[in-house]
């Protein structure tokens, strides 16, 4: 409270000085003007009496008549102009500092007021800068939640900022802990699945040797492969959620990584009689992980392949500029269902036009991999039909 009171006093003191100056200056001007007029009139009378002592009665009578004149009569009286006198002829003898004191008083009051305002604004800027710097340090995690306390008009705002930052820290720690626990649980489930899947594969091989009907062996093997993919996806998701996915940062050539992804799908592409068109557009590179980027492109190409027309083509184009590299992958199928577009990249979501035995995790994994490399992915339908994925990986 004392700090606030002191600040208010410092703020209003220059204002009070300025107001006093504005009030006293006209009074002092008027008083000085009357004093000068009286002194000049006395000097004039003295000169007249020295030259004509007998004119004293007439002079006193004239002074009484002068006092009875109105201000309008004084302004209209230009008697001396007939003899060539002007106003400036009677300003001689005025002391140079006659009006100096009132002017100085006004200037001092104005300067004090301006100085007070500048100091107040400077103090406000410093306090705002301190609070801004505190928030910046919190955002970059350069310090704790402590904040230097001061008693002023910003004290309440300062307290609320401290409370908000403390609450956000607690909320973040709770969310990070929950996310870490989820990732650990997901990894544990995936590892637990690994043992029975491996044992089931071994049993299937033994059963094949003992003459199990092929139709049953194929069905069992298909389900085991699906479980194996699910287990691998769980492990990858747990690594992404825990922030432990191993990324190797290097220059990745887009033409190379797209061709590697297509080669990994060569068997499926031949089975569905689908071709992949990747025109070479020069050496365009970005900083990222070759293996994981290839994994993300495999998921996108596979999705487009499954939704292409028979004997269709999956198209890939890429380009780059100083800000980002851009990759577009599209097919010539029927496109996405409009209701599916907002949810395509959610985990375990399968759209209305989903095909195959996927579990709805490929697009979610692709998005996570691109985001880890400072990228974004969007999906939309082309005007002429077909679904398109657009990826941008930013340089900074």
Report pLDDT digits (tens) over 10-50.
555 555 555 665 565 555 555 566 666 777 777 777 777 77
Work out the average pLDDT over 56-68.
Answer: 75
How many angstroms separate the Cα of 212 from the Cα of each of 26, 82, 226, 237? Answer: 118, 143, 21, 36
| pLDDT tens, position by position, 115-158 | 777 887 888 888 888 878 877 777 776 665 566 666 667 777 77
Q: Which two tokens stand for residue 53?
A: 């002592």
How many angstroms separate the Cα of 268 from the Cα of each of 263, 305, 315, 375? Answer: 10, 9, 16, 28
**258 band by pLDDT with thresholds 50, 70 and 90:** very high
How many angstroms separate the Cα of 28 from the Cα of each of 23, 91, 102? Answer: 9, 19, 6
**If we measure between CA atoms, which residue out of 332, 337, 300, 303 comes closest to residue 318?**
300
Quote the pLDDT of residue 324: 95
Quote the pLDDT of residue 360: 76
Q: Dihedral sign, CA of 168, 173, 178, 182?
A: positive
Q: Hey, which of 78-92, 189-203, 223-237, 279-293 has the most confident mean pLDDT?
A: 279-293
**177 band by pLDDT with thresholds 50, 70 and 90:** confident
DSSP letter string over 76-137?
H--GGGGGT--GGGG-TT--TTTTHHHHHHHHHHHHHHHHHHHHHHHHHHHHHHHHHHHHHH
Calculate the CA 326 to chain-centre distance: 25
Angle between helices 100-139 and 2-51 (to 10 degrees): 160
Work out the average pLDDT over 290-295.
Answer: 92
């Amino acid at each position: 409270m004392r700090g606030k009171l002191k600040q208010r006093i410092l703020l209003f003191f220059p204002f009070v000085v300025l107001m006093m100056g504005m009030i006293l200056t006209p009074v002092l001007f008027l008083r000085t003007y009357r004093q000068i007029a009286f002194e000049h009139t006395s000097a004039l009378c003295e000169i007249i009496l020295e030259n004509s002592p007998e004119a004293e009665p007439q002079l006193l009578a004239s002074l009484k008549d002068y006092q009875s004149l109105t201000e309008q009569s004084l302004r209209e009286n230009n008697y001396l102009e007939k003899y060539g006198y002007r106003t400036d002829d009677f300003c001689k003898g005025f002391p140079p500092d006659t009006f100096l004191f009132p002017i100085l008083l006004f200037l001092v009051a104005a300067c004090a007021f301006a100085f007070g305002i500048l100091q107040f604004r400077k103090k406000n800027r410093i306090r705002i800068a301190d609070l801004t710097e505190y928030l910046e340090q919190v955002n970059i995690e350069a310090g704790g939640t402590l904040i230097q306390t001061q008693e002023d008009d910003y004290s309440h705002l300062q307290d609320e900022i401290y409370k908000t930052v403390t609450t956000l820290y607690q909320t973040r720690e709770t969310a990070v802990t929950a996310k870490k626990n989820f990732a650990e649980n997901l990894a544990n489930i995936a590892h637990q699945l690994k043992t029975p899947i491996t044992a089931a594969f071994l049993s299937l091989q033994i059963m094949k040797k003992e003459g199990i009907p092929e139709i049953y062996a194929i069905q069992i093997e298909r389900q085991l492969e699906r479980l194996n993919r699910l287990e691998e996806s769980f492990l990858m998701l747990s690594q992404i959620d825990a922030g432990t996915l191993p990324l190797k940062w290097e220059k990745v050539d887009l033409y190379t990584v797209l061709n590697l992804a297509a080669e990994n799908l060569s068997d499926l592409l031949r089975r569905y009689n689908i071709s992949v068109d990747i025109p070479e557009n020069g050496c365009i590179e970005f900083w990222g992980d070759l293996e994981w980027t290839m994994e993300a492109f495999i998921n996108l190409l596979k999705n487009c392949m499954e939704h292409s027309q028979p004997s269709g083509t999956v198209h890939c184009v890429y380009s780059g500029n100083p800000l980002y590299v851009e990759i577009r992958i599209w097919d010539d199928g029927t496109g996405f269902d409009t209701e599916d577009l907002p949810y395509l990249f959610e985990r375990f979501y399968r759209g209305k036009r989903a095909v195959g035995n996927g579990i709805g995790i490929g697009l979610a994994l692709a998005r996570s991999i691109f985001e880890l490399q400072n990228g974004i992915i969007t999906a939309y339908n082309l005007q002429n039909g077909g679904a398109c994925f657009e990826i941008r990986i930013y340089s900074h």
